[in-house]
Structure 1
């Protein structure tokens, strides 16, 4: 697995996605600081919610090969500005739409947000979506070293 960094607003599902990818029990826990788990960097939502933390995202991304922009399908807006990905030069940028199984989920809207932000590929996942989880695992090469 290549070193991967997840970015997204608070409560969009970054930590839950990581727990699922790592076959861990899912427990909600607010990410208060940057967490390194295996080859995954879990960033607090505040890092994208406050532009003053963009520099921190840049520094954290130095080691990462893949940047995952995480967008909840139930969020009617996004915090990723158009071309957000350009701040991460020479990185693979993919998007993951979470919470696709919830009422009021809009996959198309979320996909548009992620593509405008610069994601080159977009994956979808709901809480019990094993097929979506497997596609993301395969793309991130989670089972490989």
Structure 2
């Protein structure tokens, strides 16, 4: 499986997604520092929320094969600047999280727009709780 690096704001679901991909029990855990867990690099939300930490994201990305930019579909604001993905020398995908909490297709489309503006190559819609979209994401990471 490809090494995946997750980038997204605090509470967007990065750690929960990591737990779901690795078939662990889902429990809230605040990520304080970069953690590598079974092929996934989980970054603290503060790294994208503070531009001074962009360099840390770039340096950390060297160890990854794919970078995932995470957008919580229940949040309307974007934390990612336009063409954010272009700072990485790796493929960048978008992942829309918490789709089980989003019954409004317009919110999902807004999340897609955020990710497309950030410059992602492909978008996955996932839910860690009902496992929606996880197999597609895993298949992408295997091939």
Same fold (TM over 0.5): yes
Q: CA deviation at 1:126?
A: 2.3
Equivalent residues in 2 for 1:1-145, closer than 5 Å: 1-89=1-89, 91-103=90-102, 106-141=107-142
Q: CA deviation at 1:103?
A: 4.7
Moved over 2 A (4+): 126-131
Q: CA deviation at 1:2?
A: 1.3
Q: Between Structure 1 and Structure 2, how many residues are aligned?
A: 141
Distance 1:86 1:95, change over 3 A: same
Q: CA deviation at 1:73?
A: 0.1
Instruction: Provide the alpha-carbon RMSD of the alignment.
Output: 1.4
Q: CA deviation at 1:121?
A: 0.5
Structure 2 CA distance for aligned equivalents of residues 111 and 52 of structure 1: 26
Q: CA deviation at 1:130?
A: 2.8
SS at match of 1:71: strand
Please list the CA deviations of residues 44-103 of structure 1 after superposition, one character each: whole Å capped at 9, or x if unmatched: 0000000000000011001111000000001111111110001002x1110000011215
